[in-house]
Amino acid sequence: MPEGISDTASKTLPKMQYARLGRSGMKVSRIILGGMAFGKPTWEGSPWTLDEEASMEVIKRAWDLGINTWDTADTYSNGESERILGKFIKKHNIPRSKVVIMTKLFNPVMDDDSRPAPADPYSQELVNQMGLSRKHIFDAVDASLERLGTSYIDVLQLHRLDRETEPEEIMRALHDVVSMGKVRYLGGSSMATWEFARLQYTAKMNGWTPFASMQPFYNLLYREEEREMIPFCKAEGVGIIPWSPLARGLLGKPVGATSARNEADSKTKKWFGDANSEIVSRVEELSIKKGVSMASVATAWVLRKGCNPIVGLTSVQRVEQIVEAFEVDLNDEDLNVNFVCDMTELGTVRSEVRRVQCTAVGGSRSSPLPLKRTLESLPPLKSSLEETRSHTRAQIWSNPQIPVLVALDDDPTGTQTCHDIPVLTTWSVEVLAQELANTKAGSGFFILTNSRALHPPAARDLMIEICTNLKAASAKAGRPFEIVLRGDSTLRGHFPLEPEAAEEVLGQSDAWILAPFFLQGGRYTIDNVHYVAEGDVLVPAGETPFAKDATFGYKSSDLRDWVVEKSKGAISRERVQGLSLSDARSGGADAIAAKLMKGAKGTVFIVNAAAEEDMDIIVHGILRASAQGKKFLFRSGAAFVSARLGISPIPPISAEQLALDGTKGGLIIAGSYVPKTTAQLKYLREHSSDKLTTVELDVNKLLESPESREEELQRALATAESELQKPQDVLVMTSRKLITGADERSSLDIGSTVAAVLVAFLTKLKATPRYIIAKGGITSSDMATKGLGMKRAMIVGQAAAGVPLWRCDEPSSKHPGLPYVVFPGNVHLQEQLPVLHSPALTPEAGVVFQVHSLLTADATHNLDVEVASFRAVEGHVAIAVPLPSLHVGPLFRIQVHIVQETRHAFRRPLPACLVRRPRPVLDVLCKHSIRNPVVYPLARRRIVALSNCKMRAPIEPYRQGTTRSQDRNPRMKSLGVVQKRHRLSYRDESRGARFVGRMHVFSSEALKAYPSEGSAPERARKALSCNGEVALVQVACDDGVEVTRQNGCHLSWSGPDVVGGRFARKRLALV
């Protein structure tokens, strides 16, 4: 027992044990007294705090029982905790050498009873009063010494990590206070392992004082630190002194019991939920078995792990219970039976309790969350996505005056959720007027501004120019419009500069609506906090690498604070309101509309969303409020545009559907530097090394001089030209070390120089690749507009989740019709890039076919070229034929002949009749579509896929079997032996959409080219165009034409599925 106090304990308790602090020579008591409970009950949010008199009693009993190590912090009761400990030493005349005092610094010490968090980074009161700058470290140490009434601190600990201050400054300042004799040892607390390791090795490499201790959050309910922090500390010889071994008191009482602290502590309610009740129950069971308190069992478990826990105690009785932990014998059987549930199974995962480890200076104090449990805890959705999208379309289509939606996209990745709408890269009044006039009511289009690559003044000027032209084009076309400023879903971009510039031209809106949710990218907004999904954890956006962007970085994850931060205080927090998930899922569109209507002018609304259905409900509310006269300006992620237009998602487009030319290599261009891109490129190179050639452009050489830049460019061109012709796929990437300038402007200039080299590479490349994948938002924009000369492209769909696929058929563009994949730098799956790259069609063993004649709608073009690629698919032969890129109308007539049989891929040889007959084995119409190539039957077990071919020489118009009605309609000349035509309105019930088109019914004469296998009904073939613009329906028997109707109102057809070649039935409801 330490000397100085001779008071006798009321009962026999075990002796205190002592241990070295890590590898240091100093010994500490195995149980450390926590000082957070000592101070003033008036300290904000802490009514459970003891006053000075009560604190003295607890400290005295702890001292009597041998607890000679005390942990406090300057921020506890704003310095009062340190003062009480100092007074206790002086009152009881304790020799300073016999007590170990640990204190912490980082947070400010307020002048009143308020807490310093959340800190306002713009508050003058807190400038240099918090953090880990050299100035604050020196000031905080001197202030703590004065309050403690001592000349030195045994262990000075970092309460939190200052991520704004360089590690060298932090560790040098800490080393200096040790050198001055004011501090004996250093310790850390509550930070990520890699951050702690970085500080530790910064000190060691410079010969400065390293850390002797680490104070993590660790207990039976939270064991995340067993993954990294504890193994690292053991390897480094750092002592582990966990805080809150009782999990804020939850492990000290039965399930359901409460305390004053639990009631007042919002963190306890948020961090620990019902999932931990089983663990607490097991602690209670074992405490009864051992005849000790639950607190003793929980503390004994931490001691058994080799740690020296810091325990906050508020009564003499609890001090004694904690010391009893040394008598609790937890053998292996007890541990295995009672504590098998790890935090990854039944306990609270790290994402729910790691708030303090993810707090940056001045940032929102938002904690990571477990993805699955968080989504499951939300109010249930009442409707499916198709139901909500159908409701959106009904609202839009029922209003012919609804404005055309124009999405101004600051990089091409905003098209991540849309399909079958155009993207413009030019914005003259004439171009915009034509697009507005041709766009159907309720639809929209994108304008690629690429403003994120511009300096703020240039971005503002561009926004004013585009809005001015849109306003003039609207007047010229007589079509109203509204704009969406599509920005990055990780909150990077020119905000609030761009919406302010738009309002200068278009007039002030009633409110701004901020909606960064993007499901495919793992971006969720919950309780006004924006998260990025990383695996099974939702990480606050402010704690991700995106927030460290050299140009558009930020600290706040709470979008209310983010708006204040980005506006530099011009928009107050009171002006920002949330449209909550509860509003959307419980109140529905009416509740959203009511909230929007009540908002004062100038309000910024935050859209909370965790599912696509949430966005739809918000959109329904917005449409209702707009109908009542409200005017909104939107700043959104990719998901809002598709929700506002009612665009339903479609499956990713496969390589087979693209009908890629297997005789050429593909091209991947990567300029993005975000960590996910680097990881994806590494994964791609490791898993595709045999069929991928990498060309790395050295950024240092690109920036060195024009001569070295040109040398690098020519080297890359020579390699790519050669490899693409082999064919070998080529990856052109910039060197992975990010080079930034001294400020935002110089960083943008460096990026512009590198982007210009990538553009020059694509412009000068002579070989035509099989496809182009552009990795990164700015990179893909430059490649499309400057490298390929695209002025207008169609969004075909997505090549993978969140990865848009474009197609530009303009003859003026380079490589018209080539699949162009816009691969965002922030798409999170590292496997997605090689998955996109690997399945491209290549020639395989099978049957060589040749297309002999192709008649267009005006019958002026012919095709005579071998099929580009083919492959065996589930017992069928799928043949991909490129269609013409010329604007010749939607209908084509294809005649396919077998001209040679090489090795076949069938279980049995092809019928001899198919090889010998000179007449076509296929004579049908096809629909020009790259997204879903029409698939036609060749025989029951063989199909032919047709899409996207090049035209050769013109021939005379095809007039065999034409009628007078066909002569009057040039579009029908290609139909050959058409017997009847019917105008048909129909609804495809399998798609939930309504189409109007022309149904062409053929006579049996048109089917004589088919092989004569089986009965006549088996020879009947039917085909339907993929997007419903023109229905090509054929029902044939030997005795003539027959259109089958069921119940007089439905048309049924059987045929190959347009995607996979499997036979299917569809039901079309006649309207």
Return the closest-CA partner of residue 779 out of 807, 806, 813, 756: 756
Helix (H, G, I), strand (E, B) or coil at 652: coil
Cβ distance 893 to 861 under 8 Å? no
Beta bridge partners, 876, equal 873
Give the C-alpha separation, 902 to 887, whole Å. 35
Spatial separation of the C-alpha atoms in residues 1037 and 322, rounded to whole Å: 91
Cα gap 895→596, rounded to integer Å: 59
255: its two tokens: 């399930």
- Strand extents, DSSP E, 509-585: 511-515, 523-526, 529-534, 537-540, 576-579
Q: Rounded CA gap, 64 and 135, in Å?
A: 39
Tokens 């095809």 found at: 958
CA-based nearest residue to 555, from 121, 125, 191: 121
DSSP label at residue 401? T
Q: Please choose, from the candidates 710, 799, 827, the residue with its C-alpha nearest in 3D space to the C-alpha of residue 761.
A: 710
Q: Is residue 76 annotated as part of the catalytic site, yes or no? A: yes
How distant, in Å, are the alpha carbons of 542, 552, 722, 777, 879 from that of 490?
Answer: 9, 10, 39, 13, 42
**Residue 231, preceding peptide bond in cis (omega within 30° of 0):** no
Q: Catalytic one among 76, 218, 222, 554?
A: 76
Residue closest to 846 by CA, chosen among 878, 874, 883 = 878
Query: Can you name the residues that pair with 635 across neighbouring β-strands?
Result: 485, 514
Q: Which of 472, 668, 742, 512 is nearest to 604 (CA)?
A: 512
In DSSP notation, 470-525 reads HHHHHHHHT--EEEEEE--TTS-S-TTHHHHHHHHHH---SEEEEE--BGGGTEEE
Q: Are 604 and 596 in contact (CB under 8 A)?
A: no
Q: Is 995 helix (H, G, I), strand (E, B) or coil?
A: strand
Instruction: Tell me whether strands 183-189 and 153-158 are parallel, antiparallel or unpaired.
Output: parallel
Residue 420 CA to residue 4 CA, distance in Å, equals 83
Q: Mind spelling out the 3-state secondary structure of 705-760?
A: CHHHHHHHHHHHHHHHHHHHCCCCEEEEEECCCCCCCCCHHHHHHHHHHHHHHHHH
The angle, 0 to 180 degrees and rounded to 10, between the axes of the packed helices 638-645 and 385-397 is 60
Alpha-carbon gap, residue 773 to 787, rounded angstroms: 13
Residues contacting residue 111 through CB under 8 Å, at least 6 positions apart:
78
Q: Name the region of 806 (left: φ>0; alpha: ψ -120 to 50; beta: rest).
A: beta
Task: Note every long-range contact of 1043-1049, with CB atoms under 8 Å and residues 24 or more positions apart, other chains counting.
Answer: 1043/982, 1043/1001, 1045/1070
- The rounded distance, in Å, linking the Cα atoms of 799 and 419 is 11
Q: Quote the CA–CA distance of 233 and 224 in Å, as a whole number.
A: 14
The span from the CA of 480 to the CA of 475, in Å, is: 8
| Cα separation, 196 vs 194, whole angstroms | 5
Q: What share of the chain is helix, strand, coil (3-state, %, to 5)?
A: 35, 20, 40
CA–CA distance, 584 with 569 (Å, rounded to integer): 29
Cross-strand pairs, 730: 667, 693
What are the catalytic residues? 76
